[in-house]
Amino acid sequence: MGVVEERAGALRQDQFEELARYGDRVEESLRLEFINGKVREKAMPDGDHDTIIEWLTRRCIQADQNWWLYAERGLRVESYRKGNARPDGTLAPSGAFAGQGEWASPDDVLMVVEVTSYDSDTDQRDRQEKPVAYAQAEIPVYLLIDREVCEVTVYSEPEGGKYGRAETAAFGKTVTLPDPVGMELDTEPLKAWVR
């Protein structure tokens, strides 16, 4: 797992997208992202990871039946959309990605979700690079469910390529997912899905 290409600017987005299509055909478990000029392999989710996405999907649909939490939806992110990410969850209106290809526009996205994996790239990928990439794409809310430290961080108010707000709470607390999501999330159940 890790960085496939270190040289910033050495790979164009169209080249990455072709590489990702080829990688998907070669190895079903190979999931690639292109963030900050680097191709990264994304860890495969474990059962607890999947259960967290299932739980969050139910919460989102309870809040608004016209929403769907899309798992592993490919998005164009970063400045001028020259990056490619596969958030663990992408909250958008139902049908928002109809007619779009593997790498969709983030224009209709309300929130992206990342659930940390137990790998060496989590800190760099989910805690450092993804908040910048998602803010640059002007995604209103980024929810980081950090299983390593048993905390959630809610990033919001993207402006100038950064999130203006980041609120962190321990698992077990209720957090507010600000507009356009506009819902309260009791994180108590997350305690059951950590190592």
Q: What domains are there in the chain, each with its CATH number?
A: 44-193 (3.90.1570.10)
Q: What is the pLDDT along the chain (195 residues), one digit of tens a residue?
A: 344 444 445 667 676 667 666 555 444 555 677 777 777 777 677 789 999 999 999 999 999 999 999 999 999 997 766 788 999 999 999 999 999 998 999 999 999 999 998 877 777 778 888 999 999 999 999 999 999 999 999 999 999 999 999 999 999 999 999 999 999 999 999 999 998
Burial 72-97, CB ≥16 within 10 A → b, else e:
ebbbbbbeebebbbbbbbbbbeeebb
How many H helices and E strands in the chain?
4, 12
CA gap 7, 189 in Å, rounded: 41
